[in-house]
Structure 1
Amino acid sequence: MSSSNSKVVLITGTSSGIGLATAVSAARAGWKTVATLRDPSRSEALRKAADEAGVELDIRRLDVTDESSIVSTVEGVLADHGQLDAVINNAGAGHLGTMENESVAEVRKVMEVNFFGVVQVSKVAMAHLRASRGRLITITSVGGVVGQPFNEAYCAAKFAAEGYMESLAPVAAAHGVSVCVVEPGAVATEFVTNVGVDPQRAVAEAGSYGPQLSAYLNRTIAQFSDGAQSAEGVADSVIEALTAPEPAFRIQTSDWARGFVATKLSDLDGSAVLGLTNGWVV
């Protein structure tokens, strides 16, 4: 059982990257941290990071695409800790593809993980967050604001998550729950590995879209290699959202992300964004 003075946060997708760094940072900030992941056999890096930081984590299984897994995990947290003060939706999956070359089933799968997973976890947690007057934080992406080539399904899912949370925020606030989204740009968590593609094979199989995909991959891999923010840097912004007296609804995690998102938010007719992204595929 946690002490009555120890707030409890549940974080999804903590096996690596942003989720792992956020779990460690939250525990270091004094939160009782429930670090969840779909496959507990992949928790070695998380446990090692916690040991090196000298913090304790409550590591549990949670699959955001399985409602029964979400319910049982949240019920377990309530049974063991007596409260739930914050949820950080981090679990997600990268995806690369374009409409003509991928099935609708693949698009649905991307939405299931990156959007409906967020909705399911948030729905199960909301009554408990109302009770604690807590926080609901969703890690989206600059891709939740600016649509990007060969990311139609991924950006659609992130757009959906942002729209859902922006719509929910005033309703939740009326019941004491702060809702916000955190928007990283490029993060040094192995882009090619995360989206699960072999660049050379992907270009070869892209047919008519091969030249555009090659240009996009060359630009994006270089960005992730040279200008990416660390996962720990993103975690700092997440902890800001978790601990600030009155967090902003939308939080970018770097100056680059702020500038990139600003392009869209001031672009009434879409010409600035398309003028930018058209250059990514030539």
Structure 2
Amino acid sequence: MSSTPSKVVLITGTSSGIGLAAAVAAAQAGWHTVATLRDTGRADALRKAAAEAGVELDIRQLDVTDEVSVASAVDGVIADLGRLDAVVNNAGAGHVGTLENDTVDEVRTVMETNFFGVLHVSKAALPHLRASGGRLITVTSVGGVVGQPFNEAYCAAKFAVEGYMESLAPVAATLGVSVTLVEPGAVATEFVNNIGIDVEAEIAAAGPYADALHHYANRTVAQFLSGAQTPAEAAEAVLEVLTADHPALRVQTSDWARGFTGTKLADLDGSAVLGTTGTWVR
């Protein structure tokens, strides 16, 4: 593959959901889109979506938890295409649990994918983004701003990403790289299914937390059934950041997400947040 004059974006976690939709949207907007995923054997839905949209995607393997895989993918993009103009850190994994019932190793696993995976990709990409005056975009979550019941490990990882990127942003800007956090709320994707839990079994095993987990599960299922965005709607925010003249540090993907994160950002003593999330578990 020869170098291309088109701008090049690398997106992680494109087998489904926001990553898939963002890859297709970027290609439709004229970007040479490197769509990466941990297992390229799971790329059928991605290929089908690209074909239906009439676009071509450059599909490559990348496991964000494996530094060798990350370096190989980024080096391959530069060798083949000669440039990298943007990265979208989208790969992530959910986790439902609470401190007393989780093992520390389970929490470490959540951090490896959702936090350290972002760092692996961003660190490998930054020299090339400096060269292009590019954009480093990370899909976090409203859970990176507001802590949520039974999401301690997941929210901790997303909080860490938010803090890291907010701190990095002014430093990167001195060298021409913009940093943006994209914060979705509920999105109707395979993300929830991919958490891989049996809700009834989890409730049965939750001990003194069973009643709270039951209330949380009912509320969360109802939210996803009634108020979730489509992946394409959430991906619109990613595309806007890719194309904006001066992208913001923090972008929410819906009015609900803006209202929810706004509650936290204006809540100096934490009472408004606990007043909201407390109703989720009782």
Task: Please classify the TM superposition score into its range, dividing by the shorter chain length.
Answer: over 0.9
The residue that corresponds to 2:244 in the other structure is: 244
Question: Residues 31-63 of structure 1, C-alpha deviation per residue, up to 9 Å, x if partnerless?
Answer: 000000000100000000000000000000000
Distance (whole Å) between structure 2 residues aligned to residue 125 and residue 2 of structure 1:
17
Give 1:238's aligned amino acid: V
Q: Is 1:174 matched with 2:174?
A: yes
Query: Counterpart in 2 of 1:88?
Result: 88
CA RMSD of aligned residues (A): 0.7
Question: What displacement does 1:191 show?
Answer: 5.3
- Structure 1 segments, 4+ long, off by >3 Å, are none
TM-score w.r.t. structure 1 length?
0.99
**What is the CA deviation profile of residues 62-98 of structure 1, one whole-angstrom value per residue up to 9, with x for unaligned ones?**
0000000000111100011000000000000010000
Residues 2, 30 of structure 1: alpha-carbon distance in 2 compared, 3 angstrom cutoff: farther
The whole-number CA distance in structure 1 between the counterparts of 2:138 and 2:28 is: 20
Contact between 1:191 and 1:224, CA under 8 Å: does it hold in 2? no
Kept after mapping to 2: 8 A contact 1:2/1:32: no
Residues 191 and 221 in structure 1, CA contact (< 8 A), matched pair in contact too: no
1:3 aligned onto 2:4: yes
Q: How many residues align?
A: 281
CA distance in 1 between partners of 2:225 and 2:61 (Å): 31
Which residue does 2:234 correspond to in 1?
234
Q: Tell me, in whole angstroms, the C-alpha distance in 2 between the residues paired with 1:73 and 1:107.
A: 27
Q: Which residue of 1 aligns with 2:216?
A: 216
CA distance in 2, matches of 1:121, 1:190: 23
How many angstroms apart in 2 are the aligned matches of 1:54 and 1:39? 23
Whether the aligned pair in 2 keeps the contact of 1:18 and 1:235 (CA below 8 Å) is yes
Identity %: 72
Task: Give the superposition deviation at 1:198.
Answer: 1.1
Please name the residue that 2:38 is paired with.
38
Distance 2:163 2:95 in 1: 20
Measure the CA separation in 2 of the matches of 1:278 and 1:190: 27
CA distance in 1, matches of 2:270, 2:66: 37
Gaps of 5+ in 2: none
Helix, strand or coil: the match of 1:100? coil
Q: Deviations over 1:4-28 (max 9, x none)?
A: 2x00000000000000000000000
- 1:172 and 1:191, CA in 2 relative to 1: closer, same or farther beyond 3 A? closer
For 1:7 and 1:191, the matched residues in 2 are separated by 29
Distance, in Å, in 2 between the alignment partners of 1:17 and 1:208 is: 34
Partner of 1:265: 265
1:191–1:22 CA distance, 2 compared to 1 (3 A): closer
The equivalent residue for 1:105 is 105
Match in the other structure for 1:201: 201
Q: Distance in 1 between matches of 2:276 and 2:226?
A: 20
TM-score by length of 2: 0.99
What is the CA–CA distance in structure 2 between the aligned matches of 1:137 and 1:191, rounded to whole Å?
A: 19
Runs of 5+ unmatched residues, structure 1:
none
Residue type of the partner of 1:110?
Answer: V
Q: CA deviation at 1:189?
A: 1.0
